[in-house]
Structure 1
C-alpha cells in the first residue's frame, strides 16, 4: 500500500478532496435531491478515488467530522422525543430479527454464489462495526481487502439510495421541530462543540465503537433535552458537516484499483440489495404497529454507518434521537455477535481439513 503524503502534499490532497465533495454536493443539491450535499459529495469523491485522483482525509479531519455529526444529531432532537420511547421496544425487537436475517442470508449468498470463504462471506455481511471487522480480518479471518470493498460499497449504496428513496415517500413536515428558528449563539456553540469533542475523546479512550460520534451525540442530546440550549445550528455549519461526511465516505475508496473494485462490486451490490430488502420488509412490518413514518423507521433500522445515517436524519428532518439510539444498540449487539460468528468460522475451518 502506498504511504500517505505528508506536509504540503497532504494539505493539497485534503483540500482537493473537500473541493470535490463540495462540488458534487452542490450539483446534487441544485437538482433538489434530499441530502444532496451528502449524497453528491460521497459520489463525487468515490468516483475521483476510482479514477486515481489524489483523495485523502487526515485522521484529525475524520474525527472532526464525527464530532460535528454527533453535535448535529443532538441539536436537532425534538423536545418531545422522549414521548416516543414507549414505541421503541417494537422497533428494537424488529432490529434484532433483522440483524439475524441479514447476517444469515447475505453470508450464505456470498459463500454459495460468489464462492467466498466463510470468513470473508460472513464478515462482509455484518451491517456495521467496520473497524472491528477489519481488525479481525487483518488477524487472519477472511480476505481483508474483499471485506473492505464489500462493506464500503454497502455504505456508499445506502447513502446514495436513501435520499433518492425519500423522493417517493410521504412528506415529513410533522416530524420537523417546530421550536425556535433562531440559531444557537456562537459562544454556546463553541462551548458545546468543545464538550462534544472532550466526551468523544473519552469514549474513544474507553474503546467505545464510533466514540467521537456517540460521545458528541450523547452530550449534545443531553444538553438539548435538559434545556441548556435552544435553536438550530447555523445552516452553513450543517452544510459543511454534510460535505465532510460525503468526503469521508468517498475517500474510503482510495487505493482500490478498478480491477479489484469490479471483482468485489457485484457481490457487494447483490448483498446490499438483499440487505435492503430485509430492512424494508422489517421496517414496513414495524410501521404497521408503531405510529412513525416508514422512512424514519427505515433509517433507524438501516445497516448504514452511524455518521452517514445520522447525517441523513439531520438533512431529512427525522427524529435523530430515535435513529441514533437504534444505531447505538445495533453496534452493541454486533459487539457480541461478531466474535461469536468468528468463533464459529474458526471451528468450522479447523474441522474442514479433517474431512
Structure 2
C-alpha cells in the first residue's frame, strides 16, 4: 500500500533542496576548473545526495523548463556553417548504425553470460538510449525493471562524465571562444523562449522522441539560421541551464537503495566501459574520414541522454546541430530495434534453463 501523496509544499521544499545541492556542486566544479564544471559538478552532487537518501526531486514542470532551456542553448550555439558539413554526415551516421549493433550485441551477451541476467533484462539493459521506451516494455513483464533502471542510469551518468574528464587526457579539442560574445537582448530572449516552449509542446504532442528538447532546439536553430537573432544566451542563464540538467541527471538515482545500486553497479560499469570503448573506436574511424574535431564526433555518437550530451556540446564549444542530428537518428534507430529485440527475447524468458 503506497503512502500518502506528498503535498505541494513538500515537493517544493525537496525541489529547492535539490537545486541548492546541484548549484553548490556546480560552483565547486567550476572553481576546480573541471571541464563543463557547472554541469558535471551539479550532476555529481545531485546523484550523490540521491544515493545518500536525500529526497532529490525535479518535478515535471521544472523538467520541461530544463528541456526547453537546453534546446534553446543548443540552438543558439549552432554554427552558421554547420549545414555545409551535411555531406559528411552519412559517414558518421553509418558509423552510428554499426556502433549500435555492436553495443547491443556485446553488452547484452556480457550481462547474460557474466552476470547471469535473463535474456530480457540483459538486452533491455544494453540498449543505449530511449530509457522511457525500454522501461515501458519492461513494465509489461519483460525483465527486472529495477536492475534495468540502475544499469541504464549508471550508463547515462558515466557517459556524461567520460567526455569532460576525457578532455583532460584525450585529443578532444575545444573551438576557440569568440573574442567578443554578443548576448541577445531581453526581448529577444523572451520571444525565443516562448517560441521554443510552443514548438517543444507541439513536438511532444506529435510523439517526437525527446520532443521538448528537440522542439526547442528546432525553433532556436531555425531562428538562428534565419537571421532572426545572432546573440548567445546570457552566461548566468546558460549556467543555470547546466545546473538544472545536472540536477535532472542526478535525480534519476532517487529511490535506488545502496544495496540495489551495488548489485547492479558492476554490470553497469562494465557495460559502460564496453560502450565507451566501442564509441571511441568508431568515432576514431569516422574522424579519419571527415574533417571534424574528434570530440564533436564522440559526442554525436555517444549514447548518453540528449539533454546531457547537448549541454556538454554547448559547454565544450562544439556544433550542436551535428550532435542533435545524430542523437535523433540514434533514437529513431532504437525505436525500431527495441520492439524487435523484445519480441526475440520474450519467448526465451519462459523457457526452462
Question: Is the TM value for this pair above 0.5?
Answer: yes
Aligned equivalents of 2:155, 2:123: Cα separation in 1: 14
1:54 shift after superposition: 2.0
1:170 shift after superposition: 4.3
2:18 paired residue number:
17
Q: CA RMSD in A?
A: 1.5
Aligned equivalents of 1:228, 1:178: Cα separation in 2: 20
Asked if 1:195 is matched to 2:195, the reply is yes
1:231 shift after superposition: 1.2
2:341 paired residue number:
341
1:300 shift after superposition: 0.3
Aligned equivalents of 1:81, 1:243: Cα separation in 2: 27
1:6 shift after superposition: 2.1
1:35 shift after superposition: 0.6
Asked if 1:208 is matched to 2:219, the reply is no
Matches within 5 A, 1:1-355: 5-170=6-171, 172-173=173-174, 175-176=175-176, 178=178, 181-349=181-349, 352-353=351-352
Aligned equivalents of 1:2, 1:18: Cα separation in 2: 25
**What does the per-residue CA deviation read over 1:210-240, in whole Å, with 9 as the maximum and x for residues that have no partner?**
1100111111111111111111110001000
CA contact (8 A) 1:179 1:231 kept: no
Could you say what secondary structure the match of 1:322 adopts?
helix
**What does the per-residue CA deviation read over 1:51-92, in whole Å, with 9 as the maximum and x for residues that have no partner?**
111211110001110111011000000111111111111100
Aligned equivalents of 2:171, 2:94: Cα separation in 1: 25
Aligned equivalents of 1:199, 1:271: Cα separation in 2: 36
Cα 1:2–1:225 change in 2 (3 A) is: farther
Could you say what secondary structure the match of 1:105 adopts?
helix
**What does the per-residue CA deviation read over 1:116-143, in whole Å, with 9 as the maximum and x for residues that have no partner?**
1111100110010011111111111111
1:181 shift after superposition: 1.8
1:349 shift after superposition: 3.3
CA contact (8 A) 1:172 1:318 kept: no
Gap regions ≥5 residues in structure 2: none
Gap regions ≥5 residues in structure 1: none
User: How many residue pairs were aligned?
Assistant: 352
1:101 shift after superposition: 0.1
